[in-house]
Structures are given as structure tokens and as C-alpha cells.
Copies of this chain bind each other. A is one copy, B any other.
Amino acid sequence: MVQEIASAVELRLPSKLGFEKVAMQTASGVARLMGFPDDRIEDLKTAVAEACINAIEHGNRFDERLSIGVVLSMEDGKLEVKILDSGSGLHKKMNPPNIDRKMHGEEQARGMGMFLMQALVDEAEWTQTPHGGNCVRLMIRLDKEEE
């Protein structure tokens, strides 16, 4: 049998806000190479940015000695992106943001990142890495159009 070699791109970034933009560019380059249409690439870029910001902020708590990892795995017709940090992951269940409650000051204005990730890509999942860090797994499919 032929040994199949998965095509993966790996990126390592400092735990500093702003570097999520580098991840956006890298993800956009990979998605473009795979032939994703522009609107899906925009969806992916925003989802990847939000995951990186959370990894920098909540996962690595801006600790500049730690880096965040972004692993982009290309398979037939789908692109999986894992965003890895060294934190201990989610501790509570998140409610979807409620704009009316936000506008009336009944919940904080922030807290939309995870919601956006889930809304923008085909799959979004929060897990732990074997080494005890947090891993967000995002997936977009070539055939599926976001409605």
C-alpha cells in the first residue's frame, strides 16, 4: 500500500496581540492554494484570528516565553486548522452572545469570539492536546457553501 503523506503547514507565533494577523495571512495562503472561494477565505481568516487571540490572551496569558501553534492540514476538499496554546482550556460553558443584553449593560460587550468561530466555519471544537494544552479545531469544506 502507498503511504499517504498528509500535507500540513505549521506556524508558530509569539504570544502577542497582533500576530493573529500573521496566522490570518498564512491560513488565507493555504486556503487559496486549495481553491477556496474568497468569501470562505474571509470566514476562515476571522475564525482563525479569534482562536489565536484567545490562545494568546486566555491560553498563554500574554506570556512572551510561550508561543502559540497553528497547524493547517489539507485533505481532499477540506482544510482543518488547529490552534494550540499552553493553557488549561475552557472551564465553563459559554452562552451565545445576546446583543440586547449587551446593549442594556446586562452582559459584557465582549465574549463573541467563540460564537463567531462556530458561526463562520463548518466545524469548531475545543479539546485538549496530549501535552495538556488547549486545542481549537476548525474545519472548512470546499464543497459546502456558507449560507
- Taking Cβ atoms with an 8 Å cutoff, the residues of A that contact B are 5, 7-14, 16, 18-19, 21-26, 28-30, 32-33, 64-65
Contact = CB atoms under 8 A, between A and B. Distances in A.
Contacts of A16: 7
A32 B26 contact: no
Contacts of A21: 29, 32-33
9 contacts: A5-B65, A9-B11, A9-B13, A9-B22, A10-B10, A11-B26, A21-B32, A25-B25, A25-B28
Contacts of A8: 12, 14
Contact of A19 (B9, B14, B18, B65): B9
B14 A22 contact: no
Given A21-B32, A22-B30, A33-B18, A10 B11 contact: yes
**Max count, chain B CB within 10 A of own CB: residue among A5, A9, A19, A29:** A29
Nearest to A22: B29
Given A9-B22, A22-B26, A22-B30, 14 more contacts: A5-B14, A5-B64, A8-B14, A9-B12, A9-B14, A10-B10, A11-B11, A11-B26, A21-B32, A22-B33, A24-B29, A25-B26, A25-B29, A26-B29
